[in-house]
């Protein structure tokens, strides 16, 4: 059995965290031989809820759960953190523009970045989930100069998984038989789920999915899936988001399956002509605890247009928060 | 990979199910080589929520999830069920007596039993979670004469896990190092968490836990834990209940660890002098998909008193629902 690692979760009193924490404690994220200490952060008003969650985690009697600590102070919550799951953010209110959301949430992620800089483990790995996730990740990295770019990611795995599910449903094939799908760009309505290189069993996805279906059905279904879940369930995605966080971290830490890749938002290094200095979702392979952007994929005109549109949105978002960046 | 099995979950639009379904779909309950079809039952008013949950299950892209069907009709929901997790029940309202709850919920479990009788797999395994779980299990079995007693259980695993957690906290020992703890009796405030035979590491628990602590702290803490969680979290236990369901079924199907037992409510066969014909929580070992009540444990006077008190409650509950039994 390994020594315990410290996993800090922000927004820990919220719905996504409620689905997530039990899964982490049961070993789904880091494996069956990795004990964890959960360091839970949320605002003081939620302290009683957080205590209740902590009681329930204790009551689940997880052999791998080596401790739970509760915090309303970021510098304590991130102390020694090996993994930081930044779930907490203000939700978008009615009539609120994305720009307002950006500014409201920027302060939270400045504070997260500063706390990571001050007290986290030197090789902490960070995933930003709270929206706007990509630009929040940029703010975190900008406020934690000690961290290398390869230590910070934003989550587009939920979009990736949603795209897998839509393609599986359309083709009647099991989701486990679909590979090499990519979500490019921003975790927002401009994201581009790309089937160009995807395989459904042994066949190219493009043989099974017409351009019309891709444009008129598939892309909007993936882009608007969050809203559709809210409409049906009356609440935003929590269980599926939690599973995507687990998938994102597990693959990052334990490696992607052979001959497969996943979508992760990482700091652009200029791959595929995407501007450097934004967090952009790329196809990534992971091994030995490191991700690498898959190189050399052909990009057709249709893909290029969409990749550029979502890139532009990220550049616009960056300009809104430029004063918070180095 | 095995052929898919059918898992019916009632109360599927509720909070416990929301925590439970993702865990089942990810393989936590039946193992990584067992695909599942989830057959979800709830009342028609919740249909939109159920659709949302189904969308999220799809969006989590679980390789083991072979299908999800939604039902408001028990005979469809239980069709071919290999496993039936009876979570759905009316919650206890303010000022409501346990007797009222019994009668209100009895109708639900009569219907569940009749549907299992009519359409479930011949070797279906049932766990009753909805309260009052033990007596509801008796109603299910009484209304499904085709089922053998060893196919129906009620859940006291949450109480068992809570007792493990309390003893771990008191002794400062890891929960994984505690074995042979027993919860006897009813899943109610009369349950008896018994440390007489428990081991903490290599030591007898009774060496580490005084009779005073057991009586004044440990027993009430376990018995009243549900209320304490509600007080803190503002909602009843869901994540920990879901994990207990997973633990109960996994151990039943895949076996208990060597040299360990768990607490399961099963039809009393007269073991330990407990009246036959009630569902009573006993120490059980599981192997080859079958449970057996652990035999031969010594019962001291203190234990006997408590075991009799919770037995009496179950006999009283049975008399309330006697008209629903064969």
Q: What interface predicted TM-score (ipTM) does this complex get?
A: 0.97
For chain B, domains (ranges, CATH) are 5-154 (3.40.50.720), 157-320 (3.90.110.10)
Contact at CB, B60 and A239, closer than 8 angstroms: yes
The answer to whether B19 contacts chain A (CB < 8 Å) is yes
Q: What are phi and psi of B72, to 5 degrees?
A: -115, 10
For residue A243, give the nearest of B60, B232, B235 by CB distance: B60
DSSP string, A161-209: HHHHHHHHHHHT--GGGEE--EEEB-SSTT-EEE-TT-EETTEEHHHHS
DSSP state of B61: T
pTM > 0.90? yes
Q: To the nearest whole angstrom, how far is the Cα of B256 from the nearest Cα of chain A? A: 15
Q: Which residues of chain B have pLDDT under 70?
A: none
The answer to whether A37 contacts chain B (CB < 8 Å) is no
pLDDT of residue A140: 98
Rounded Cα gap, residues A276 and A269, in angstroms:
5
Contact at CB, B56 and A234, closer than 8 angstroms: no
What pLDDT, in 10s, does the model give residues B81-124?
999 999 999 877 777 777 788 888 999 999 999 999 999 999 99
Contact at CB, B240 and A59, closer than 8 angstroms: yes
Residue A187 annotated in active site: yes
The answer to whether B233 contacts chain A (CB < 8 Å) is yes
The answer to whether B232 contacts chain A (CB < 8 Å) is yes
Q: Quick one: how many helices (H) and strands (E) in chain A? A: 12, 14
Contact at CB, B53 and A239, closer than 8 angstroms: yes
pLDDT of residue A278: 98
For residue A229, give the nearest of B55, B235, B243 by CB distance: B55
pLDDT of residue B317: 96
Q: Residue A39: name the closest of A96, A156, A124, A135 by CA.
A: A124
**Cα–Cα distances in Å, from A186 out to A105, A278, A312?**
16, 10, 10
Search chain A and give the residue with CA nearest B49. A233
Q: Report the Cα B219 to chain-centroid distance in Å.
A: 19
Residue A24 with chain B: CB contacts under 8 Å = none
Tokens of A293: 């952007």
Size of interface A-B (CB pairs under 8 A): 148
Rounded Cα gap, residues A143 and A135, in angstroms:
12
State which H helix or E strand residue B323 sits in.
none
What pLDDT, in 10s, does the model give residues A44-63?
999 999 999 999 999 999 99
Residue B176 with chain A: CB contacts under 8 Å = 63
Rounded Cα gap, residues A261 and A251, in angstroms:
9
Angle at A73 between CA A72 and CA A76, to 5 degrees: 120
For residue A59, give the nearest of B56, B58, B158 by CB distance: B158
pLDDT of residue A244: 98
Contact at CB, B240 and A62, closer than 8 angstroms: no
What pLDDT, in 10s, does the model give residues B260-294?
999 999 999 999 999 999 999 999 999 999 999 99
**Cα–Cα distances in Å, from B227 out to A241, B15, B222, B234, B294?**
29, 16, 10, 10, 30
Q: Which residues of chain A have pLDDT under 70?
A: none
């Amino acid at each position: 059995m390994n020594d315990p690692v410290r996993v800090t979760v922000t927004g820990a009193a919220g719905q996504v965290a409620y689905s997530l924490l039990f899964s982490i404690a049961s070993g789904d994220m880091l494996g069956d031989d990795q004990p964890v200490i959960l360091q839970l952060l949320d605002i003081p008003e939620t302290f009683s809820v957080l205590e209740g969650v902590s009681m329930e985690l204790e009551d689940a009697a997880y052999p791998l759960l080596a401790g739970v600590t509760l915090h309303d102070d970021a510098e304590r919550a991130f102390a020694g953190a090996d993994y930081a799951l930044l779930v907490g953010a203000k939700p978008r209110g009615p009539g609120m523009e994305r720009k307002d959301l950006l500014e409201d949430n920027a302060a939270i992620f400045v504070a997260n970045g500063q706390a990571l800089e001050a007290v986290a483990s030197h090789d902490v790995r960070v995933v930003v989930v709270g929206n706007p996730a990509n630009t929040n990740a940029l703010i975190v990295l900008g406020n934690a100069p000690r961290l290398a770019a390869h230590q910070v990611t934003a989550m587009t795995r939920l979009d990736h998984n949603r795209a897998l599910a839509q393609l599986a449903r359309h083709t009647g094939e099991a989701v486990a038989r679909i590979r090499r799908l990519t979500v490019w760009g921003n975790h927002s309505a401009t994201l581009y789920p790309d089937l160009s290189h995807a395989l459904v069993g042994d066949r190219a996805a493009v043989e099974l999915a017409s351009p019309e279906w891709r444009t008129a059905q598939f892309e909007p279904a993936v882009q608007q899936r969050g809203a559709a879940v809210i409409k049906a369930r009356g609440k935003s995605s929590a269980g599926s988001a939690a599973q995507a966080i687990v998938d994102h971290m597990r693959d990052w830490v334990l490696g992607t399956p052979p001959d497969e890749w996943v979508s992760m938002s990482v700091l652009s290094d200029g791959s595929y002509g995407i501007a450097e200095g934004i967090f952009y979702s790329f196809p990534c392979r992971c091994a030995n605890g490191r991700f690498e952007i898959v190189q050399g994929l052909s990009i057709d005109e249709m893909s290029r247009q969409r990749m550029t549109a979502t890139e532009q949105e990220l550049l616009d978002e960056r300009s809104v928060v430029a004063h918070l960046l180095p």
